[in-house]
């Protein structure tokens, strides 16, 4: 029983750390205005883990778009 409780708290701590890191990335991003950052932060914390995964994927997509197309695609 004690192992299960320890595992639960470790998993909970990892999820909270992921959510906090995602929130930090949103607020440091220069791609979004304040209103969008507030909405994304709400999504992260109101839908635990799922919201953070969605926002993180949006952030990664924006970073990839900012870098431009991969080499060899018409440029």
9/36 Cα distance (integer angstroms): 31
| pLDDT at residue 72 in the model | 67
- Report yes or no on 60 lying in a domain: yes
Provide the domain limits for residue 60: 2-67
Q: Give pLDDT tens digits for 26-40.
A: 999 888 899 999 999
- Report yes or no on 51 lying in a domain: yes
Read off the tokens for 73: 């695609």
- Report yes or no on 75 lying in a domain: no
- Report yes or no on 61 lying in a domain: yes
The model's confidence at residue 74, banded by pLDDT at 50, 70 and 90, is: low
Split into its structural domains, the chain has a count of 1
- Report yes or no on 41 lying in a domain: yes
- Report yes or no on 7 lying in a domain: yes
> What residues have CB less than 8 Å from 19, skipping those under 6 apart?
44, 45, 48, 49, 51, 52
- Report yes or no on 37 lying in a domain: yes
Average pLDDT taken over every residue of the chain: 89
């Amino acid at each position: 029983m004690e192992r299960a409780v320890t595992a639960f708290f470790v998993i909970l701590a990892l999820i909270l750390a992921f959510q906090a890191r995602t929130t930090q990335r949103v607020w440091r991003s220069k791609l979004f205005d304040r209103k969008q950052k507030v909405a994304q932060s709400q999504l992260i914390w109101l839908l635990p883990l799922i919201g953070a995964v969605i926002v993180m994927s949006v952030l990664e997509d924006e970073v990839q778009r900012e870098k431009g197309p991969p080499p060899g695609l018409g440029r």
